Amino acid sequence: MEATKNIWMDGTMVPWEDATIHVLSHGLHYGTGAFEGIRAYETTQGTAVFRLTDHMTRLVRSCKALGIPLEWSVADLVDAAKELLRVNGLAGGYIRPIVFYGTGSMGLNPAGAAVRTVIAAWEWGAYLGEEGIRNGIRVAVSSWRRIDQSSFMPNAKVTGGYVNSVLAKQEALAGGYDEAILLNTDGYVAEGSGENLFLVRDGVVHTPPVAAGVLDGITRRSVDTLLREDGLTVVPTTMTRTDLYYADELFFTGTAAEVTPIREVDGRPVGEGRPGPVTRRAQELFMGAATGTLDLHPEWREFI
């Protein structure tokens, strides 16, 4: 990660190297925080942040789910992120807002701990590699199950929940794969460690419903809209591990991963073992909408 000039902390621009917190921060000990991952793209009309307002809305909702009293509105956070890109001179890159409990309380009850709000941004290329974007990645179903609705909140982007994702990611990499697919505790397909999953079979596009224990991904929503508008049928479908093996195409979506084809699952080639036409179309439409090279959904490109 390459350092930039400033990080926004609780309303002030702080030099990158001074953006530190105390070791007794509640969020560090108990994972009591909420965060976002957002991308900005260089376009011919300037820097456009992809669905910035939707991301900040999700952040505010995640805080609500966790019970964190947040002093900033969606509009404040949107303005802060834009200002941060401007002061850092970033034409594109990744934006990471995080809200967490700081110091002031060290029991499980976070009441009394200060709420800290931070936004950082830096340049970041393809999360699963340029080669992955072009030719697809190799994935395996994880031995870890996705955090369950009955004990956690899979549809809130809460820091502590990401230990589940880290374990699955580490296991996949140790096994020689690029990424993991997690099943939920009922044994149905949920999502990747940091990506939503799409499956194509007989020309129909499927994605696990949010009730399967997945994050309501903003890239997922965007790809769903773009493919429907392109004439395809997209349905939320509860899917089994076997459905993965019968798929003609599989791909991941996410802010970091964008649209990444999957060419192999559990040692079995997906379709012909290379990215298929629907995956290619999803990539084209998504990148075209994000960078403005296609005249689609201008409201998704929020200029700084």
Choice between 6 and 184, CB closer to ligand PMP: 184
| Class of residue 248 by CB neighbours under 10 A (exposed 0-12, middle 13-18, buried 19+) | middle
Candidates 239, 241, 279, 284; CA nearest to 262 is 279
Taking the complex as a whole, the smallest distance from the CB of residue 111 to ligand PMP amounts, in Å, to 28
CB atoms within 10 A of CB 186: 11
Contact residues: ligand PMP, CB under 6 A: 37, 165, 191, 194-196, 215, 217-220, 253-255
DSSP 158: B
Taking the complex as a whole, the smallest distance from the CB of residue 103 to ligand PMP amounts, in Å, to 27
Choice between 61 and 274, CB closer to ligand PMP: 61
DSSP 145: E
Distance CA 118, CA 137 (A): 33
| Class of residue 264 by CB neighbours under 10 A (exposed 0-12, middle 13-18, buried 19+) | middle
Taking the complex as a whole, the smallest distance from the CB of residue 255 to ligand PMP amounts, in Å, to 3
Residue given tokens 């309380």 in the structure block: 105
Distance CA 33, CA 115 (A): 9
Torsion angle (degrees, nearest 10) of CA 264, 267, 268, 270: 0
Do the strands 179-183 and 137-145 form a parallel or antiparallel pair, or are they unpaired? parallel
CB atoms within 10 A of CB 253: 26
Choice between 114 and 156, CB closer to ligand PMP: 156
Distance CA 243, CA 197 (A): 12
Taking the complex as a whole, the smallest distance from the CB of residue 36 to ligand PMP amounts, in Å, to 7
Taking the complex as a whole, the smallest distance from the CB of residue 18 to ligand PMP amounts, in Å, to 28
Taking the complex as a whole, the smallest distance from the CB of residue 20 to ligand PMP amounts, in Å, to 25
Choice between 113 and 158, CB closer to ligand PMP: 158
Residues labelled catalytic: 157
266: tokens are 């559990």
Query: Which residues have CB under 8 Å from 161's CB, separation 6+?
Result: 31, 147, 152, 153, 154
63: tokens are 């805080």
- In our burial notation (b when 16+ CB lie closer than 10 A, e otherwise), range 98-121 reads bbbbbbeeeeeebeebebbbbbbb
Choice between 117 and 255, CB closer to ligand PMP: 255
Choice between 179 and 195, CB closer to ligand PMP: 195
Distance CA 57, CA 296 (A): 22
